[in-house]
């Protein structure tokens, strides 16, 4: 015969169960919204393939305009994270980033093995996501301590990327792309871990972080594959 729970013990168990259910709900909604963001991304990419000439003509200016737009949209998403407008703004951001990705895909598709490289980059991105999400949900260790280090690393990579726009050093570009893949893979682990451990309770913000990590991983993996294994026609 099991001993009866004291009122405070019963209340603690109920509270713990409710927290666990809430965390599962946030994680589930994050995954669903993340899947939804693929639609505007693909639509933007198709448009970007045929209309992204301005990016190719003015890459530096286009980069800073896009960076400012994405940062502005992130602030707007954060301000509306508890309303449907936040979802609309997030989908708008994913469309914009898809459009930005268009010229890179257009270049990739001019290669003999271009479609294969795009598929490999997409597949590898998916594998990285499932591995990092699996670690975060299985181990359930709080990886939020990595946040400050990853943020500093991201800023340093951004500065290196801007510098290489003017230096145009191929080896540095490959190094930056490799490090971006590593840093944003760890960002995925960090972001999913925060959801699992209750550090992030808003699925719109959680999706925003995960999407940006996946976008950067895919784009840089594709650049690496093109540089290392691309076959010209």
Provide the pLDDT for residue 2. 47
103: alpha, beta or left? (left if phi > 0; alpha if psi -120 to 50): alpha
2 domain-assigned: no
Q: Which domain holds residue 96?
A: 7-229
181 domain-assigned: yes
Provide CB contacts within 8 A for 218, sequence distance 6+: 101, 121, 122, 125
Q: Tens of pLDDT along 176-233?
A: 999 999 999 999 999 999 988 888 889 999 999 999 999 999 999 999 999 998 777 6
16 domain-assigned: yes
pLDDT at 37 over 60: yes
> Cβ distance 117 to 229 under 8 Å?
yes
Q: Tens of pLDDT along 10-31?
A: 444 554 666 677 888 889 999 9
Closest-CA residue to 90 (of 102, 101, 78): 78
Provide the pLDDT for residue 51. 83
Provide CB contacts within 8 A for 65, sequence distance 6+: none
| Number of domains forming the structure of the chain | 1
Model confidence, pTM: 0.89
208 domain-assigned: yes
140: alpha, beta or left? (left if phi > 0; alpha if psi -120 to 50): left
DSSP 110-169: TSTTHHHHHHHHHHHHHHHHHHHHHHHHHH----GGGHHHHHHHHHHHHHHHHHHHHH--
Report the residue count for the chain.
233
Closest-CA residue to 157 (of 129, 132, 190, 182): 182
Closest-CA residue to 212 (of 75, 94, 72, 63): 94
1 domain-assigned: no
């Amino acid at each position: 015969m099991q001993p009866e729970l004291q009122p405070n013990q019963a209340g603690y168990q109920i509270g713990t169960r409710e927290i666990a259910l809430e965390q599962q709900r946030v994680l589930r909604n994050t995954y669903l919204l993340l899947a939804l963001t693929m639609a505007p991304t693909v639509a933007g990419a198709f448009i970007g393939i045929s209309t992204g000439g301005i990016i190719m003509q003015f890459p530096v200016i286009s980069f800073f305009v896009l960076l400012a737009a994405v940062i502005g949209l992130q602030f707007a998403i954060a301000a509306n994270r508890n309303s449907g407008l936040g979802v609309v703004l997030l989908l708008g951001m994913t469309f914009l980033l898809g459009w930005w990705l268009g010229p890179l895909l257009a270049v990739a598709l001019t290669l003999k093995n271009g479609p294969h490289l795009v598929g490999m980059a997409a597949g590898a991105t998916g594998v990285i996501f499932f591995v990092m999400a699996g670690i975060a949900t299985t181990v359930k260790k709080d990886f939020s301590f990595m946040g400050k280090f990853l943020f500093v690393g991201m800023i340093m990579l951004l500065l290196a990327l801007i510098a290489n726009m003017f230096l145009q050093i191929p080896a540095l570009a490959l190094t930056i792309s490799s490090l971006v893949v590593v840093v944003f893979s760890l960002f995925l682990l960090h972001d999913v871990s925060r959801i699992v451990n209750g550090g992030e309770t808003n699925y719109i913000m959680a999706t925003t972080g995960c999407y940006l990590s996946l976008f950067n991983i895919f784009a840089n993996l594709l650049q690496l594959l093109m540089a290392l294994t691309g076959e010209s026609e």
